[in-house]
Chain A
Amino acid sequence: MTIRDNDMIERYLYAVTRHLPAKQRDDVAEELRTLISDMLEERCGSMPPAQKDVRVVLTELGTPGEMVRKYTADENACLIGQPYYAQYLYVLKIVLACVAGGMLVAGALSLATGTQGGVLGGVLEGIGSLIAALVFAFAFVTALFAFFSHRGIDVEVMGSLDDLPPVPRETRNPARGDAVVGIVFSIVGAVVLLLFPDVLNALSHRSDGMRLEPFNAEAIRASAWVIIAWTVVCVGAESFKLVEGRYTKRLLAVTLVSDLVVAVLAVFWLTNFHLVDAQAIVQAMQSSGLALEGPVLWAVSNVQVAFCGFIVVALVIDAVDSIVKTARNSRI
């Protein structure tokens, strides 16, 4: 056997073993080396094998890719396996559609309200933001479902006859519909807040025609990480709801934890950032002839605190709603 033939065998072995776990590589290479030698001996007998013989034997053995597939056939080598893949595609479509739709609507509004400089510049900037946001959304959903798939978030609930899911009374599973609504709201809200906070100001008008900018776009931008974290937690929890498909105890646990995290984020966000100019709103309402007094005046004057309370109450309602639905589901 010439050095060149030997080199081809070594290159073949390297091509196969480099894709295998490190602790197996030497062992597999040694075993295949002996196998190739046996196959060459059988083919050539006492004659030294030519390069052509080496090629024939290696071809008979299979391409390196084929060998790697056979050695790793039992491993969970795909990023997102079934049954997650179908749900991954479903969530991905919703998320991408929401991101694209939300950004297109908000972009059109910002162009129409003149908050962007020029039309061309605004369109180009909008396309760039759209692509970046779609890539981010794709990466996030993919990473989320890869985590579900690889970390054993078991969606098989039909392990025994006792675990058979009840036939839903509605035509569609309620948890699935709730999850879709939750994902849509989370993403559209985040898109508007993150990318087009100026639109919120542009949509606000005083009755006397004076300029009104109730939202502090700089503060909203500065707190972008809170909004992103909020959205990630919400979409993650809703995606789990979608995967689970019905109200179970572990879905309840995920919901309660995500509600708690969102509550902490909301309190932090609304108490540490000056997001809304409450005085400007009070003045605008008074200029339009609205006489504010009592609790309403307090709520408008302390709009962030009031909104914070509103969110916490909404989260408590969501938690109670989940507990009730889980209890009802377990009784069926």
Chain B
Amino acid sequence: MPKIMSLDELKALRDNVKNKVDLRIKGENVDKMVVVRVAMATCGIAAGAREIMNTFADMVREHDLDYVMITQSGCMGYCYAEPTVEVTLPGQEPVVYGHVTKEKAKEILEKHIQGGEMVDGIIPVAHKSLDE
């Protein structure tokens, strides 16, 4: 990575990576790219997030779901509902699930990711983001 030498270069990189993130999601399979984010902060991991992350990875590998990207994030704040998992279907608002167990993960994968149906256990977004 060459060093960023100015604010303009930084902005160019920002626009580029924004596209890159988009590309990664929409890329080859625009209709189907799904992002699964597991909250992997200490609280999440303590509640079993690592196992949930592995479960998703295993399932994705097993079913050869190359349109599903699994990634991590920090704490979403819903400690009472850890582990939490955010699922973003292409073109849709992200949906956060709480209290995700292995069984729930399976259900999320089969119904939500593969079938487009939401399942029980959604945590509604109840906060304003920076731009609201």
Q: Is this pair of chains taken from one and the same complex?
A: no
